Amino acid sequence: MLHRTKEGANNIVFNVLFPILIFNILLTSKIESSAILIVVYVFIAFVLTMFIGKLFTKFTGERFSHISYFMLTTCEGGNVALPLYTSIVGVAYASNTVIFDLAGTLIAFVLIPIMVAKLNAGQTSPKELAKTIFTNSFVIAVILGLGLNLLGVYNMLAQTPFIDVYTNTINMITGPIIGMILFIIGYNLKINMDTLGSLLKLLIVRIVLFAFVIVGFFVFFPHLMADKIYMLAVLIYFMCPTGFALPMQISPLFKSEEDNSYTAALISLNMVVTLIVYTVIVIFIV
């Protein structure tokens, strides 16, 4: 019974709620020209962490090599980084982490669905593969959200009485997401001693790779990193766990329930690292 409940929650979140959430994020985000370079940098960084991670599958373990490298990309911004960051600096600076999430959205809801579809396609023709990709609910949500954003639809809607109806409806629809995701992750969380070594190795690889991403901010955006408030956004965001939606995105590649447990366990272990980093920042930097 509980298993069926988890599967039902997974389907609702994956096929309905998350596409709506992603559409709203992209529709309402203020994409300024000055932020484009940051989005491009983070996008490239996320791609590199995934593909460099694939080179380390012998180190992290062949047993989960079909999914482990996917867990080395993206960070959970909305449900982890954002509340932790704003608890220190206030909501006025929330956009600092939201910009990073734009790149993460493109990775998690465009690139990875395409990769998963391709890996599952086998000998599927290019036409059928393209159909699989572009009928994906996440891809549709991203295309619509970005397209309507660029057309200024949200700004026009904001000038009408319908904006409150839209906002309240979106909040009502997407409100249950975090609770349902935590239920799914908690259900899947089973850390077996025989997989603990692989998990710890993968976590170490992830931390090292994202440490380099943080160093890259100091190299490429020194003027931004000179601002302590902005620097805190970078430190907290890139030490956060893999995006909560990512295990569901790669679930078509799972070979067993053990794969579910592996991804959930990595996120949980990474949360411990995130909280340690947050504590150190609060004590020694703020």
Q: Residues 248, 13: contact at Cβ < 8 Å?
A: yes
Top-confidence residue, 49 or 152 = 49
Residues, the chain: 286
Cα–Cα distance for residue pair 90/274, rounded to 1 Å = 19
Cα–Cα distance for residue pair 135/232, rounded to 1 Å = 38
pLDDT tens-digit series, residues 223-281? 999 999 999 999 999 999 998 888 888 988 999 889 988 998 899 899 889 989 999 99
Got the DSSP string for 131-186? HHHHT-HHHHHHHHHHHHHHTTHHHHHHTSTHHHHHHHHHHHHHTTHHHHHHHHHH
168 alpha-carbon distance from chain centroid: 24
Residue 176 pLDDT > 70: no
**Identity of the highest mean pLDDT range in 13-17, 62-66, 167-171, 194-198:** 62-66
pLDDT tens-digit series, residues 83-108? 789 889 987 787 788 789 888 888 98
**Identity of the highest mean pLDDT range in 16-25, 32-41, 163-172, 213-222:** 213-222
23 phi and psi angles, rounded to 5 deg: -60, -45
* pLDDT tier for residue 211 given thresholds of 50, 70 and 90: very high
pLDDT, average across residues 153-178: 83
